[in-house]
Amino acid sequence: MGGTGNIGEGLARRICLSGKYDVIIGSRDAGKARCAADGVMSCLAENSCTGTSCTGATNADVCDCDIIIMSLPFDKLASTIETIGKSAFENKIVVSLINPMIRNPKERYFLPDHPVDGSAALALQKLLPVSAKICTGFNNVAAGKWMELNEELDYSVVVCGDDLTAKRIVMDLVASVSKLQPLDGGPLAISGIIESITPLVITLALNNGLKDVGVYFR
């Protein structure tokens, strides 16, 4: 959902290129989503990747997928779920890459802006049915890197969540993309720490003339 944004289309390209997953790009506007999906399909053809498909649909239609990735700004999350109806998320694996943050207007730094629940992922868990399995994933990979297909993504992706099977499935999805290293970050209670890494890496990029800073744990 929100698959037409800075992150969404590049993420869709990379996941389809793995050859292991079909992707539905979700949007409030199905036409906009179809347009983004056409871009992904052209990219797959250019790379002689014929095994997987990408289609565009409404955000509600994305709930037919086994894994739902929420690629929305945090302040649009509750209204999006309300519009769709939370029952559509029953028993689904739901991945949050959402990092609420604020920029200090005068100085060159960003800070996490955690909601009262402690993190966006924990707030998402509260908004969805108890049967939904929430995991974090892809939080700390910069948007620019997703679209540059000639570049390898050699970053760590910390996946946390309370359902071990769902977490394993999300880690397999992460491992299918370029050189991403999935790491088990433990339960969803850890998600606030993961979301806090992104404002740090953006601040490091700003103040040190770096581009697309990321993390690799070793």
Within 8 A by CB and 6+ apart from 209, the residues are: none
Check if the beta carbon of residue 21 is closer than 8 Å to that of residue 173. Answer: yes
Q: Is 157 helix (H, G, I), strand (E, B) or coil?
A: strand
- Sign of the Cα pseudo-torsion (182, 183, 185, 187, in order): positive
Kindly write out the interface string for residues 184-203 of this chain, putting x where it contacts ligand NAP by CB under 6 A and - elsewhere.
--------------x-----
Terminus-to-terminus CA distance in the chain, angstroms?
32
Nearer to ligand NAP by Cβ, of 17 and 84: the residue is 84
Rounded least distance, CB 133 to ligand NAP, Å: 19
Q: Which of 23, 71, 112, 153 binds ligand NAP (CB under 6 A)?
A: 71
Q: Which of 23, 54, 80, 159 binds ligand NAP (CB under 6 A)?
A: 80
| Binding segment toward ligand NAP, per CB under 6 A, in 23-31, 49-57, 106-114, 177-185 | 23-31
Nearer to ligand NAP by Cβ, of 22 and 29: the residue is 29
Rounded least distance, CB 58 to ligand NAP, Å: 9
Check if the beta carbon of residue 18 is closer than 8 Å to that of residue 43. Answer: no
Instruction: Quote the tokens at residue 54.
Output: 């990408």
The pair phi, psi for residue 207, each rounded to 5°, is -90, -10
Contact residues for ligand NAP (CB under 6 A)? 2, 4-8, 27-29, 32, 71-74, 76, 79-80, 97-99, 139, 142-143, 198
